Structure 1
Amino acid sequence: MKMGTALEREWKRLLEKEERMLCSAENKKESKLDGKIKDLTGKIEEKIPEKLSATLDAAFYKAFLAIFEKGTGAIERMFKGDELQLEFQVNDFRMDKKPTKKSLKKLEAAGRKSRVLNSAVTTAEGIGLGLLGIGIPDIPVFLSMLLKGLYEMAAGYGYDYHRREEQIFILRLIAAGLAEGAEKRKADQLVDGWIGLSEEKEAFPFEEEVKRAVSALSGGMLTAKFIQGLPVAGVVGGMCNPVVYQKVMRYAAMKYKKRYLSGKRKNA
């Protein structure tokens, strides 16, 4: 099966988009608005209890382990995995018979609808609990929705999220999706390395992979979770949930697409 010029062009566009994303993260200039937000965030962070960061890390870590060990079944009840697998088989067959950009769009469309719905749920959940002044306790709920979206995307591209290797890939997607600056490229290389898209495949113990993802989530949500713990004002903190969700999912969509296309190119 030949990839076809249409998908080769799509592969090149994807690589260019990826490089723009990485360069943007490395060379991002701080605007006046960013500076003001940074100053405001800094003032808020000064009031955050030192133990809150450790509490947030522990909450995410426990939630990850609980979901991976016992909670996957509960998440699966929130979406139709069998239908996603069947849809992938149909779309993948179409790709093998007629590998065009249109065929690839069918694969991408499968995950796009769920991303919109999941984002809406995380928004409602974050704002609703923010009104009540609930911050840290909503982490298992948010994490379940984040993993639901990533599981749906994995299934939509034909990958088994029950496998430990796939779970490690998902953890690396979270860490890389939230990384900033020069760390973005390093984290991205770890993602590509794990799926054989680069020469190096650096392996960490599973618990270490969880901690890296936890660090990324905690670092990106510490201030927001502190604010979310304040009644009414917590609405602002609750808005962080959909922002983090979308950031991870946009990155994951790009990497799953790259991984799928890479497999097709190897088998061409």
Structure 2
Amino acid sequence: MSVLKTPWQRAYRSVWRREQQYLARYETRRVSPLDAKLEELAPESLLETLHAAFSKAFSTVFEKGTGLIDRAGRQTQRRAACRVRQYAADQWEDRASLQAFTKAAGAAGRGNVLLSGAAGVGMGLVGAALPDVPLFTAMVLKCVYETGESFGFSHDDPSERRFILCLIETALSDGAELKERNQALNAFIQDGCWNDQPPMAVQLRATARQVSQAVLYGKILQGIPLVGVLGGAEDAVLLGRIQRYAAIKYERRFLIRRRLAQLK
């Protein structure tokens, strides 16, 4: 007989298993022969240019673009649907009511990945790399916002925005850095407070640099007309990676929050 008897225990075991699979997949950094060649050809100034562009894009979206993203993502409808799922979970907390949150997050993620891929390919056709940075940044944040809202989490206050920045940075990390940053996120999820975190401006720049490094090879290709389609398609790959990780962390937060509330 299985030790995991309750739906909550089964759900938590499932999300824990997905987290371990994610950590194992990116335990070592994988560089394809094409990426290795592009790394040789990439001018040192390009990474700094991308870093500056992503820093500005994250800052701009946080300060001015949230309302537009919320309207585009139908925030009101998503939050209403989440309240319905919450009511069902409170009443029954069976497997179906808990899985409804995961399914909603998955549906939102697939839509954003497809949209990002189409936009990236379009930019690649005309050889536009840097102009794609604000669009890709907005798509990343939209994807994370909607994933969080599927589980009942907002992005309105500074603590949640720090969580989002740390989540994106961690999702695109590898090896020891991935494990260390994942542990820091889990500590916040468990305790509800941050320990020894840098100022928000510093975290924003750190996240921007991690994104810059992840997209570097794709942006080199994306700057070449027609060939840039390959680089543009990389946007969807990276967004899919971020979305998978976001779904894991928000589901973990959701389940732990439910359990703590039940123990009060």
Aligned to 2:118, what secondary structure does the other structure show? helix
Give the C-alpha shift of residue 216 in structure 1.
Answer: 1.5
Give the C-alpha shift of residue 193 in structure 1.
Answer: 2.4
CA distance in 1, matches of 2:60, 2:184: 25
Partner of residue 208, structure 1: 202
How many percent identity over aligned positions? 32
Q: Do the aligned partners of 2:22 and 2:245 also contact (CA within 8 Å) in 1?
A: no
Candidates 81, 96, 102, aligned match of 2:96: 102
Partner of residue 8, structure 1: 9
Between 152-161 and 162-171, report the one with greater CA deviation: 152-161
Partner of residue 229, structure 1: 223
Q: Is structure 2 residue 54 aligned with structure 1 residue 53?
A: no
Partner of residue 34, structure 2: 40
CA distance in 2, matches of 1:144, 1:198: 27
Tell me the alpha carbon deviations over residues 190-223 of structure 1, each in whole angstroms, 9 at most, x when there is no partner. 2112333599733221011112211211111111
The alignment's C-alpha RMSD in Å is 2.0
Aligned to 2:101, what secondary structure does the other structure show? helix
> Structure 1: 5+ residue runs without aligned partners?
none
CA distance in 2, matches of 1:119, 1:17: 19
Partner of residue 233, structure 2: 239
Q: Do the aligned partners of 1:22 and 1:185 also contact (CA within 8 Å) in 2?
A: yes
Partner of residue 171, structure 1: 165
Candidates 242, 249, 253, aligned match of 1:248: 242
Candidates 103, 123, 129, aligned match of 1:135: 129
Question: Which amino acid is 2:56 matched to?
Answer: K
CA distance in 1, matches of 2:22, 2:110: 22
Q: Is structure 2 residue 68 aligned with structure 1 residue 74?
A: yes
CA distance in 2, matches of 1:71, 1:199: 26
Q: Is structure 2 residue 259 aligned with structure 1 residue 258?
A: no
Give the C-alpha shift of residue 96 in structure 1.
Answer: 1.1
Q: Do the aligned partners of 1:25 and 1:182 also contact (CA within 8 Å) in 2?
A: no
Q: Do the aligned partners of 1:192 and 1:198 also contact (CA within 8 Å) in 2?
A: no
Q: Do the aligned partners of 2:171 and 2:242 also contact (CA within 8 Å) in 1?
A: yes
Partner of residue 118, structure 1: 112
CA distance in 2, matches of 1:210, 1:102: 37
Question: Which amino acid is 1:219 matched to?
Answer: Q
Q: Is structure 2 residue 21 aligned with structure 1 residue 20?
A: yes
Structure 1 consecutive aligned stretches of length 4 or more whose deviation exceeds 6 Å: none
Give the C-alpha shift of residue 17 in structure 1.
Answer: 2.9
Give the C-alpha shift of residue 22 in structure 1.
Answer: 2.0
Distance 1:177 1:69, change over 3 A: same
Distance 1:206 1:219, change over 3 A: same
Tell me the alpha carbon deviations over residues 2-42 of structure 1, each in whole angstroms, 9 at most, x when there is no partner. xx71211221232233223323433x5x8xxx66x2x3322
Between 217-226 and 152-161, report the one with greater CA deviation: 152-161
Partner of residue 83, structure 1: 77
Partner of residue 182, structure 2: 188
Question: Which amino acid is 1:75 matched to?
Answer: I
Distance 1:84 1:67, change over 3 A: same
Tell me the alpha carbon deviations over residues 47-85 of structure 1, each in whole angstroms, 9 at most, x when there is no partner. 222211110000000000000011101111212111111
